[in-house]
Structures are given as C-alpha cells and as structure tokens.
Amino acid sequence: MAGSIQKSTIKDNNLQTIFRIIQRYGPLERKHIQEYSKLSWGTVSKFTALLEQAKIIVQNPNPVSNVGKTPSLLDINGEDHYIVGVDLNFRDIRIVIVDLKGNIIRSQIAGVPDSSQMIQLLLERLETTIQPYLANKNLIAISIATQGNIDSEKGIALYLTFAPTWRNIRLKEIVEEKFHIPTYIFHDLDCVLIAEKYFGNSIDDSYRTVIALNTNYGIGMSLMINSQIYAGANHRSGELGHSVAVPNGALCSCGKRGCLEAYASKVGITNRFIDAVNNGTPTMMNVADSFSIKYDSIKRFAKSGDLLCQKLFEEAAFYLGISLASLASVLDPDVIIFFGELADDRELFQEKLYKVFSENVYPGNTSKIIFSSLKGSAVALGASFYALDEILSGFLKQKTGHDDEDDQAA
C-alpha cells in the first residue's frame, strides 16, 4: 500500500509540474519542458499526451522555420476550462472569468450602495457574468476573496469590524446552492499574495517568506511561510492593523485605542485630520464641516504643502516603519509588499518609511520593502488562482484519468 501511495504521489507531482511549466512559460516545445522540469523524456511525453487528450493543453504551430520537421509548441487551452474570481468588498464587487493561464476572458464591476444588499448584489452580478458559460458546464470553480475574518474551510465570512450586519455569512453555501459550482472563500490579502506570486514582479522564485500589506480603509496583512499561506490556528492571522502602535492612543474602528490602523490607514488619517482641525490646528484646507473632509482632499493638500496633512502622512510612515521593523526582525521575510490605495500615494511617505524601518530593524536584516505594481482586478485574479492551487491535483487526475497509469520519476 505504501508503495502504491508513493507512486501515485510521484505521478501527481510530475503531472502538476508539467502543467505549471506550460502554464507559466508556454507556448514551448517538449524539450524545453524537460529542461525546466528535469523529468525524463518518457515522463514528459506521456503526461503531455494525457494533458492534450484531456484538452487541458493544445498544440500550436511553431513559427520557427527549420529544415525538416519543426516541433509543435504546447500551451494551455484557453477555451475549455474557466474559473470565476470575485473581489467582494464594501465599496464594489469585481468579478473576472479567467482561463487556466490567467487570461481574463470577461470582467464586471458593480458599486455597493448599501452593505445590507451585498449578498443579493453578489448573486445578481455573478448570474449576469457567468450565464453564457453555464450551459457548457466548463466553469470549474467560483472563488471569492473577501474582507474581515473568515473560515475558509467552512466557507463562512465571520465578521468585519466596520460592518455590524456582516456576521457569520455562509457564503460558500449560498453561492453553491444558487449555481451548483464548487465555491471557495479566501481572505482578500491572501489573494493579493497569490496574485503577486503568479502575476506580479515582486516575488522571486527563491523567496520562501513574504509579507503582503494592504493599506486602504484599514490595514490587512497576509503571510507566506515556506511558500505556503499562513492562516494561523484559528484562521485569524494577519491582523497587523489591530496591533497597538500607540498605547491609549486614537480610537480605532474595532473599539480599541492606539491600533496601527487608527494612524496609518485612509480612515485613520482622515479621522486624525478631523480631530486636529477640531482642536484648532491650522490647515490650508477650507473646512466647512467634518463630514465634507475626505482622504483624497487630505492627500491633495499634502502634495500642495499643507503642513498638517504632510505631518499626518509622516506619522503614518513612522508607525508603519516601526511595526514592519518589528515584524521583519521576528520573521526575517525576503520581501514586504505594499498594496492598496494608500500605497499608491507612496511619494508622500515612502522616504520616511524606509528610514524608520532601516533604523529599527534588527542589524543585518536584508528584508526589502516593495510597492506592488498590480492594480484593478488583482484581488479577483488572485482568488481565481488560489482556488486553482487548491483543486489542481484533483482536477488534473479527474480530467486525465492518470491514476491507473504507470510512470517513472526522473
């Protein structure tokens, strides 16, 4: 029995290796697949044939013209198998349909006027987007990235601090009951990390430990250790935004005081600006009332030289730098990746951030801070490939029927 299990595991790993190489580097010849994989020629030939028979890969003509027979190029079939990725947040819903190579086939975005309508709007937009693909039954998964605390194994959105009605939502069950397609629920920042892994330029193949930070309305974090997403004992890791930066400091949305999020997020910067103005701190901004103050205005005036606005960004950089230096000293990551709207305004704080980080991190630490180049549908795209990571082994086995085949390792 042990030998049978070991043989099956080797075959499974070889099949996934070949698929991933074609997915990443295709179109390419079989000889190049062998070079990348280090597998035997027989193994490469057998498994590429299985993948082609299952219509997971296809042969393309080789544009290189040589004397004699020119080897065909193998690439992912972009027409038979699709994954639906969803970025579900309280500002908008982004939906993408992607092929197995990550090409976006169709996309849709819808604003969320009221968080109480979130589920209804999600189902409506999903139905509109995926309807043309339901008849052929070629949607292999729906993958939803969402904010707050979640239980990925049960597919439940547990709670979100700034949405009191968002409690114990059985997202997986609701979506599967409606569409009868396997559905997966992931934390949105974990999906950012997956998107960086497959589509970004911040994660080198040699990196084993990576931190991704989303600085937006709040602050979220995802952690990759030994190339695997780390969720924690209760699937609640990554709450860096609710670690205390200033004891007894500014009030946070979670009810505690002094959280990093209260100083270094869009909401935190906006609230601190309002408090400062109410306490008489001068500003170039013409403030009619506190309800009219928006983060975008604070950002704009900071760029125009407003001292109060600039100070708030510098303080945000200080507390972020201290927090990240502590994290880096403990975890020694290869890289820390910034993502989100606040990160897009990095010219206002990155110099200060780098300085504070370098002054406070443990001596000899080589962790790098990088700002992500991913935009728009990155979270939804990451969600789709996170689901593919989860189901790939079973999907390839089912489609190729390779369990009864014998194979050899390289």
Picking from 78, 100, 130, the residue at the C-terminal end of a domain is 78
Query: Which of 403 and 49 is assigned the larger pLDDT?
Result: 49
pLDDT at residue number 159: 80
Average pLDDT of span 109-119: 85
CATH label of the domain that carries residue 175: 3.30.420.40
Residue 269 lies in a domain: yes
Model pTM score: 0.88
User: Could you tell me if 43 and 98 lie in one domain?
Assistant: no
Residue 399 lies in a domain: no
pLDDT reading at 409 higher than 50: no
pLDDT at residue number 65: 53
Range of the domain at 13: 2-78
User: Could you tell me if 283 and 214 lie in one domain?
Assistant: yes
Residue 404 lies in a domain: no
Picking from 78, 103, 122, the residue at the C-terminal end of a domain is 78
User: Could you tell me if 158 and 61 lie in one domain?
Assistant: no
User: Mean pLDDT in the chain?
Assistant: 90
Residue 405 lies in a domain: no
pLDDT at residue number 335: 96
* CA distance readout (Å), 126 to 13, 31, 215: 33, 41, 27
Query: Which of 408 and 56 is assigned the larger pLDDT?
Result: 56
Please tell me the total count of domains within the chain: 3
Percent of the chain scoring above 70 in pLDDT: 92
User: Could you tell me if 380 and 290 lie in one domain?
Assistant: no
User: Could you tell me if 171 and 66 lie in one domain?
Assistant: no
Q: Show Cβ contacts of residue 250 under 8 Å, excluding neighbours closer than 6 positions.
A: 257, 258, 262, 263, 268, 271, 272, 275
Structure tokens at 383: 């969600």
Average pLDDT of span 314-318: 97
User: Could you tell me if 184 and 116 lie in one domain?
Assistant: yes
User: Could you tell me if 218 and 358 lie in one domain?
Assistant: yes
Q: d(Cα 103, Cα 76) in Å, to the nearest integer?
A: 11
Average pLDDT of span 333-343: 92
User: Could you tell me if 335 and 225 lie in one domain?
Assistant: yes
Q: d(Cα 33, Cα 25) in Å, to the nearest integer?
A: 9
Query: Which of 240 and 235 is assigned the larger pLDDT?
Result: 240
Residue 403 lies in a domain: no
pLDDT at residue number 201: 83
Q: d(Cα 185, Cα 176) in Å, to the nearest integer?
A: 11
Residue 410 lies in a domain: no
Residue 407 lies in a domain: no
Q: d(Cα 274, Cα 216) in Å, to the nearest integer?
A: 18
pLDDT reading at 404 higher than 60: no
Average pLDDT of span 192-220: 90
User: Could you tell me if 36 and 148 lie in one domain?
Assistant: no
User: Could you tell me if 38 and 164 lie in one domain?
Assistant: no
CATH label of the domain that carries residue 58: 1.10.10.10
User: Could you tell me if 383 and 356 lie in one domain?
Assistant: no
Encode pLDDT of 140-189 as tens digits.
Answer: 999 999 988 888 889 998 887 667 778 899 999 999 999 999 999 999 99
Residue 199 lies in a domain: no
- What contacts 24+ positions apart, CB below 8 Å, involve 151-155? 151/185, 151/235, 152/184, 152/185, 152/186, 152/187, 152/231, 152/235, 153/235, 155/183, 155/184, 155/185
Picking from 48, 63, 78, the residue at the C-terminal end of a domain is 78
Q: What is the dihedral of CA 278, 302, 337, 24, to 10 degrees?
A: 130
Structure tokens at 270: 């906006």
Encode pLDDT of 64-96 as tens digits.
Answer: 655 556 778 999 999 989 999 999 988 889 999
Band of the pLDDT at 408, cuts 50, 70, 90?
very low
Average pLDDT of span 200-221: 89
User: Could you tell me if 175 and 265 lie in one domain?
Assistant: no
* CA distance readout (Å), 80 to 58, 120, 133, 138, 387: 11, 29, 10, 6, 17
Contact by Cβ (8 Å): 81, 94: no
3-state helix, strand, coil in the chain (%, to 5): 45, 20, 35
